[in-house]
Amino acid sequence: STFFRGRHFITTQDFTNEELNIMLDLAKDLKIKFSYGEQTPYLLYKTLFLMFFDQSTRTRNSMQAGIAQLGGDGIFLSPDKMQVSHGEVAKDTGVILSRFGDGIGIRHCTYGEGNKYLNAIAKNSKAPLMNLQDDIYHPFQVMADLMTMRERFGNNLKGLKVGISWGYAESHLKPLSVPQSQILLFTRFGMDVTLAYPKGFDLMPDIVKTAKQNAENHGGKLNITNNMDDAFVDAHVVFPKNWGGFFISDKEEEIRAEQAKHKDWKCTEEKMKLLDKSGVFMHALPADRGNEVEDSVIDGPRSIVYDEAENRLHTAKAIMTLLMGGRY
């Protein structure tokens, strides 16, 4: 693991396919050991700081449970209780936390700020910085997605038809970290990816350009359409996350108004009939049940959302083990 030790993980683009495969192989091994109750103290006495500017269920708890299961300690930090709330700069926070511990994980999704903050911490941290979602990327989510797809369809996912739709999120003016990370990663494993969204809901042009380059380099495809059905026809996997956003902000009215314009961008049983017969429904969660997906789909036999969520734990443990210098 020496070539992983101390490296930051801000986007999957920071690692080669071979390195990502090593992470996923370790995640698989950790999952098996966890199922047998076998101990995996690979990060004994190591300390991880977890700084969350935004809410989380899966990410926070997969990291905190994960570091505990690896024998280390996860310290949860609320920025509003830290001096960053009084304007302390990223450099000072990054230097200090990295002198106290062995790893730093941060979620900071504020548009235009999150990724910049993470990079500023990374630049000044001698401990690995792990991106637990920023305004551009959500690498830990897509690693769990990839692991789940491999479990379902085998390790060689070349040619797998994947549909991603994202009709509405916190704001259509914001870049969307999940689909952006998905198109970057899945194209690198030769998948045939279709991204569907209503006109005007484009992802960041640079990310799309890189994803197209990834597809070219790895025999994948990236198709972009404004018709949701195009992402579903013959798909092996669909990731419809159309309505996005829980109403945690003062933007509820704005979100509702946008939803009304795109009511048909919803994953229904009817739409699921368009899939290949082996096709499955995936979703990073949380899901806005009723608005973005029918209960009968997310609770139905083709939904693998709980496997996907569980794999957040195993992939997080693998990534921490490798970056934080654990033995395995």
The minimum distance between CB 134 and ligand CP, in angstroms, equals 12
The minimum distance between CB 60 and ligand CP, in angstroms, equals 6
Judging by DSSP bridges, how do beta strands 129-134 and 221-225 pair with one another?
Answer: unpaired
Cα separation, 20 vs 14, in Å, equals 10
- Tokens standing for residue 266: 């919803």
Cα separation, 284 vs 204, in Å, equals 20
Q: How many CA atoms lie within 13 A of 254 on its CB side?
A: 12
The minimum distance between CB 277 and ligand CP, in angstroms, equals 28
Cα separation, 24 vs 30, in Å, equals 10
Beta partners for residue 77, in sequence order: 51
Closer residue to ligand CP (CB): 215 or 313: 313
Closer residue to ligand CP (CB): 98 or 165: 165
Closer residue to ligand CP (CB): 276 or 307: 307
The minimum distance between CB 96 and ligand CP, in angstroms, equals 25
Contact 161, 230 (CB under 8 A): no
Q: Positive or negative CA dihedral for 207, 194, 255, 312?
A: negative
The minimum distance between CB 50 and ligand CP, in angstroms, equals 11
Closer residue to ligand CP (CB): 71 or 286: 286
Nearest to 5 by CA among 328, 322, 327: 322
Contact footprint for ligand CP (CB under 6 A): 56-59, 133, 141, 284-285
Closer residue to ligand CP (CB): 59 or 93: 59
Cα separation, 317 vs 315, in Å, equals 5
Cα separation, 272 vs 270, in Å, equals 5
Task: Please name the residue that has the structure tokens 């910085």.
Answer: 129
The minimum distance between CB 64 and ligand CP, in angstroms, equals 11
The minimum distance between CB 53 and ligand CP, in angstroms, equals 12
Closer residue to ligand CP (CB): 141 or 321: 141
Contact 189, 272 (CB under 8 A): no
Residue nearest to ligand CP (CB): 59
Q: Please name the residue ranges forming H helices in 154-301.
A: 177-186, 205-218, 228-232, 252-261, 269-272, 295-298
Closer residue to ligand CP (CB): 133 or 214: 133
